[in-house]
Chains A and B, each alone.
Chain A
């Protein structure tokens, strides 16, 4: 019996545990430092917005020894044991680090009080507890400012705005979503946000939180009831560092998601494969599913992830496939400021290698399929994908066009009939599925002498 121990109880951990559930040959222990069983973290903004109930977020946890409130502090590699904050030890045969990332606190004076706690107006947005606390605070607040214009920031801003709070957003870069999209797309999004009632301050840094409000370096002071910090995070690697595993930005893993100690794996936001540290759920789940298959004895190999980042916010349509701003290729672009859409495909050797879709997701189901599968497109296809779908207007039906498929009747035969009854009796048109009834009515009228 192999003992698999997973450090962390976030989404990657839950996915891995689910992939191992019901398989003989091992026991699975999950060590989570939060007090909650694993939940769907990426839907926290949906809870805030009110489209999801907190209870519906809980993820499956079968056949697992789940320990909540169990913070791992040390890995004793020689003894193959994990030490917890309460000094107890958990032995392992296989250890998996799924420690996620740590939100970074922006350098704003005054957000942390002298006692080390956050100012009462200030909220982080990482955990379910954060979310529930903000949710409670939002009930009595009239206004909020969101610090950080990334994916999470946009989602939280929209959620609060949908709930009726006057919402503002502060982004230090020159446009929102700057890690994912270009300035044009960012401008389109900022315009959308303004239209939806959220003021956006780009190129502005919050420097101080005072009694008067959040002071920006452009001279504004935002007098908001709530300040939500969504300024991103960095891989949580302290445990791995202390255990002397190879760490660069994240814990370095190979094609089997092994760290420099082959008994220890790392997946999700804390891991670094090649130069890639992902920070999104889809690749974390891909890694977790693949590691589960590996631990179940299957022959698999991890070759890096194709990421699709999707904004989950009412009335803001954004999808970013891969890294469109840092990927080489030919750019096929379609921008329409009138309708507020900006779409861009980065194509290399006929394959979509990255894309930005803002404001118009009509073809997203097809574009992501092509991207995920590395479909080699034809010369006109990338362009065609960005054109509006055209439906040809109906023309006058030629006499040999089939009108009633059930009885096999052409337009000509129906035009030759004087009435609907005659058409029905002599041709049996309309007597099957009935779908041609209106067409037959029209044709009978056309054929009738004026």
Chain B
């Protein structure tokens, strides 16, 4: 019997694995985050074990036939290292790019960053976490001086008075978390959901607002307007714990409810009702997720909602404040340990001389040998194979051609590479394009830590032996490093201890955390479980109000593309679906297009019959799902299958470099 955590989302539900050859999932009631509850993805998580599509040998693309053929590990790694060296010799260090993932363990994320900075010497590393919570991270840094998804334990939800969920469908994306909503309501609290779709989460809400996609920002400004007008601002808190209120206040003065109504499609009456609710409440908690964040103005949107929380005096107050519901399993830890183009382990900035010196010391290299800032995820992909961009790309833990925006363009960039190397468990859509595919272990076959959405570091423990021929990502990274003349640790606990030293003194400091402590304490928070009680992480201890204005979607609707397209997840699938689409027990009916009966009637669509969604970048044919839960001016497509992201817009947030996954202009025909 092994205690571990689910392989999927950021909740990292605790579970027990029983058996040796065939593993069985059992509840782990003592783990506090989910108390034994799991969704069907968790219950069926062992479905990939022994799957016939598991890769068990490296694959190398044969030059003569163009097909992938089986190869030995030494052959594959020698080939990769040799090609990387040759490309770097010809084009410089930055000719090699590295692309990581928010699902990788802390140890892997750390080793991957070290591989890029030390063994390859390239600045060109980033990861798919950019497409996850980077807008909230950027806003958190600006407002609070630090970025941690939730600055309090998730269970604090149950004790707030009003919980405002902006663009989160947690009842489907992290179902066990929804239990907290029910308990909050049993305790007399109220739940507010803001979403263009009336989701299963909205069905559990007391107040539901259904805005046009991309207008969460003016709604926040409208709330600020009404809170100020009603003198519901916590003046003392604002005066003693924040700076910048006056500018934000003036911006909000221009967003009276009827103006917000016209832009957002949320009626002035509904906005007033919400303002009264939050204005009168003792404790208010605002949580954003991808719906609010995955926009070209995602950072500003989060800043506006943080301003709402600050104006009400909530951040730092018990059972109140602002938080971001991270998406990927290790979205939090993945960004703390050096996969991000501008960061070193411990959430240190790569252009900070003191940070460079500290980390270089742990790595035993000269600070000056560390590269500087590289390109952000989408910009990195967009540059592949161009004159100035990388000629080779190493991919770990990401299925880019399904999950990147404007996917047709991205696939073309990948095709233009001299060398694409993908490490994965199965032949994902991206691995299928690779020159070299490296088969790696999966969750129950390896040990490592993850940092969940609360900043709680948890331990996934190995429960079974991996199939023959498969190596862990840490082995693969060390194997490449060795061929490039560097000695990397492969034992997870040893890597974790090194990560602790590298992060010591940084914003996300893991130096006091050990595997034993994690086992004993059911996970260990970095920093404190509840942050900001006395001060914020800026030098003056105060939080910042940052004034923001509504710019609107990068691609407004027009006569040719008159509908808003938004994307999201379904309960039974996870991210690009590389894992969940292969689990037999999980229903996989493929993508669908959700549209309102009024729109269906307009275009002659019928439930279950195919429709074609098109944008300026591509099109997708899929069955219509006619539901009255979506705005009639909006269509929804889940992104777990190839196609949805051929439609999405690659416009980026100026600060977080987050693409605008959540809204673009589309047309639909039956």
Contacts and interface: CB of A to CB of B under 8 A. Distances in A.
A339 interface: no
B256 A431 contact: no
Contacts of B633: 366, 369-370, 373, 375
A53 B601 contact: no
A368 interface: yes
Interface in A405-444: 405-408, 428, 431-435
Given A58-B253, A60-B250, A407-B40, A433 B228 contact: no
A166 B266 CA distance: 33
A60 B477 CA distance: 54
Interface string B542-580: 000001000000000101001000000001100000000
B253 A57 contact: yes
A157 B601 CA distance: 43
Interface stretch (B257-265, B323-331, B512-520): B257-265
Given A51-B230, A364-B267, A384-B598, A312 B251 contact: no
Contacts of A317: 269
A59 B265 contact: no
Contacts of B603: 378
B631 interface: yes
A102 to B, nearest CB: 24
Instruction: Determine which residue in A43, A312, A407, A432 has the highest number of CB atoms from chain B within 10 A of its CB, and name it.
Output: A432
A166 B177 CA distance: 53
A60 B253 contact: yes
Contacts of A381: 598, 601-602
Instruction: Determine which residue in B39, B204, B212, B572 has the highest number of CB atoms from chain A within 10 A of its CB, and name it.
Output: B39
Nearest to A367: B265
A310 B628 CA distance: 27
A40 interface: yes
Given A366-B632, A374-B559, A380-B601, A60 B262 contact: no
Nearest to A308: B262
Interface string B274-303: 000000000000000000000000000000
Interface stretch (B150-158, B168-176, B647-655): B168-176
A432 B601 contact: no
Contacts of A373: 557, 562, 633
A83 interface: no
Interface string B220-260: 00000100111100000000000000010111011011110
A377 interface: yes
A431 B602 contact: no
A173 interface: no
A431 to B, nearest CB: 6
Contacts of A46: 229
Contacts of A308: 258, 262
Interface string B164-187: 000000011001111100100000
A18 B254 CA distance: 11
B27 interface: yes
A431 B37 CA distance: 5
Contacts of B266: 365
Contact of A43 (B256, B547, B601, B632): B256
B36 A59 contact: no
A52 B559 contact: no
Contacts of B611: none
B268 A433 contact: no
Given A380-B601, A406-B175, A428-B43, A59 B259 contact: no
B38 interface: yes
A369 B265 contact: yes
A372 B262 CA distance: 9
B529 interface: no
Nearest to A11: B254
Nearest to A437: B182
B39 A406 contact: yes
B631 A431 contact: no
Contacts of B200: 405, 433, 435
B587 interface: yes
Contacts of B177: 433
Instruction: Determine which residue in A46, A407, A435 has the highest number of CB atoms from chain B within 10 A of its CB, and name it.
Output: A435
Contacts of A312: 256-258, 268
Instruction: Determine which residue in A15, A61, A310, A385 has the highest number of CB atoms from chain B within 10 A of its CB, and name it.
Output: A310
A88 interface: no
B265 A365 contact: yes
A58 B254 CA distance: 9
Contacts of B586: 408
Interface residues of A, number: 53
Given A374-B559, A407-B40, A51 B253 contact: no
Nearest to A430: B37
What's the dominant secondary structure at chain A's contact region? loop
Nearest to A40: B253
A39 B229 CA distance: 13
A310 B178 CA distance: 38
A450 to B, nearest CB: 31
A42 interface: yes
A436 B633 CA distance: 30
Contacts of A431: 27, 36-38
Interface string B570-608: 011000000000000111000000000010011100000
Interface string B137-167: 0000000000000000000000000000000
Interface string A22-65: 00000000000000000110110010000111001111111000
A432 B212 contact: no
A381 B601 CA distance: 8
A377 B602 contact: yes
A435 B183 CA distance: 11
A361 interface: yes
A433 B178 contact: yes
A20 to B, nearest CB: 13
Contacts of A40: 253-254, 256
B601 A433 contact: no
A69 interface: no
A282 B260 CA distance: 11
A52 B229 contact: yes
A51 B229 contact: yes
Nearest to B228: A56
A183 interface: no
Contact of B39 (A39, A42, A375, A433): A433
Contacts of B211: 365
B253 A364 contact: no
Contacts of A60: 247, 250-251, 253-254, 547
B605 to A, nearest CB: 11
A53 B229 contact: yes
B261 A368 contact: yes
Contacts of A85: none
B253 A56 contact: yes
A432 B265 contact: no
Contacts of B601: 378, 380-381, 384
Instruction: Determine which residue in A15, A53, A391, A433 has the highest number of CB atoms from chain B within 10 A of its CB, and name it.
Output: A433
Contacts of A372: 262
Interface in B13-45: 27, 36-40, 43
A53 B225 CA distance: 11
| CB-based closest 7 A-B pairs | A378-B602, A365-B265, A433-B175, A60-B250, A433-B178, A52-B229, A310-B258
Given A60-B247, A60-B547, 5 more contacts: A372-B262, A375-B633, A385-B598, A405-B172, A407-B40
Interface of B: 27, 36-40, 43, 171-172, 175-179, 182, 200, 203-204, 210-212, 225, 228-231, 247, 249-251, 253-254, 256-259, 261-262, 264-269, 547, 557, 559, 562, 571-572, 585-587, 598, 601-603, 628, 631-633
9 contacts: A52-B230, A364-B261, A364-B267, A378-B601, A406-B176, A432-B37, A433-B171, A435-B171, A435-B175
Interface of A: 15, 18, 39-40, 42-43, 46, 51-53, 56-62, 282, 308, 310, 312, 317, 361-362, 364-366, 368-370, 372-378, 380-381, 384-385, 389, 391, 405-408, 428, 431-435
